[in-house]
Amino acid sequence: MLKFKHIFLFLLFTVVLTSCGDFTKVLNKGTSAEQYTLATELYEKEKFNKAIQLFEKIIPAYRGKPQMERIQYMLSNAYYQTKNYLLAAYHFDRFTKNYAKSTKKEEASYLSARCYYLSIPRSSLDQSDTKTAIEAYQKFIDAYPESDKIEEANGLVKQMQLRLEKKHFDIAYQYYHTGNFKAAVIAFDNFMSDNLGTSFKEDALFYRSRAAYDLAMRSVDFKKEQRIKEALKSIKRLEYNFSDTKYKDEIEKIRKSLKNELLQTVSTIK
């Protein structure tokens, strides 16, 4: 039994060596037709990394020929299967531009958007990749409104938009948290201007009011009165938008403190 096992392992090792040798030989010295044939075989066997090497090598020889449409799609998908998402997105984008009438165009457009989505860093200050993914999905949604992928695409767009809003909100909150109240007021104003209808609006209005309050209370005398009045306006804005705000008790305390400070400030000036 042990003897047969050794024979089997020897034959398997020989096959592997022969296979590797054939691949290297075709890759380095094979004709374009041989490379195309082997690339397709390896792709169908899901040996994507080797297939990629061959596809990349034969592109110049097949550019402008009928086979190029198939090569472009297989190369794109091979990168996708090996999780090289940015390269996959790049090649899927090229495919959709070069083969506008292809039956694979819709699928390539969807996979391009998905690749951009999968390439987003899960925690990053730079959200440019998120914006690119949103644009790619929106392009797909606009082009294929009847696609069975529309519900998923819309859901992911909403998810990514929420992610961008949260990141934008967190930046403004960080100014408040570190005591840079003037910058926080401006940042929360910019956040609400750039994200109309955001689900973070109530929180943004509250912390904007809180920052305005802290700024007013720490101001020099000649700026204090105006800043107190600005903080009171900020509170009114919160109440106007959210009459039953979850911050009701806190803003009542802030308002009382501001009014008391205003009375003292006015009497001091007089």
Domains of the chain, with CATH numbers? 165-270 (1.25.40.10)
| Cα–Cα nearest to 251, from 264, 237, 262, 265 | 237
Q: Name the least confident of 76-85, 99-108, 120-129, 137-146.
A: 120-129
Give which of 216, 196, 197, 202 is closest to 257, Cα–Cα: 216
Say what the alpha-carbon torsion angle 102, 52, 132, 110 is, to the nearest 10 degrees. 40
Mean pLDDT of 159-168: 92
Q: Determine the pLDDT at residue 123.
A: 54
Provide, rounded to the nearest whole percent, the portion of the chain with pLDDT above 90. Answer: 81
| Residue in 105, 103, 50 with CA at minimum distance from that of residue 75 | 50
Place of tokens 């306006």: 233
**Token pair 């109240």 is at which residue?**
181
Which pLDDT score, from 0 to 100, does residue 266 have? 66
Over 50: is that where the pLDDT of 78 sits?
A: yes
DSSP classification of residue 218:
T
Mean pLDDT calculated for residue range 157-161: 94
Residue 265 confidence (pLDDT): 77
Residue type, 146: E
pLDDT of 3 above 60: no
**Count of all residues that appear for the chain in the document:** 270
Q: Convert the pLDDT of each residue in 19-46 to its tens digit.
A: 556 899 989 888 999 999 999 999 999 9
Model confidence over 209-263: pLDDT tens digits?
Answer: 999 999 999 999 889 999 999 999 999 999 999 999 999 999 999 999 999 999 8
Please give the single-letter amino acid code of residue 137. Answer: Y
Q: List alpha helices for 63-149, DSSP H.
A: 67-81, 85-98, 105-118, 128-143
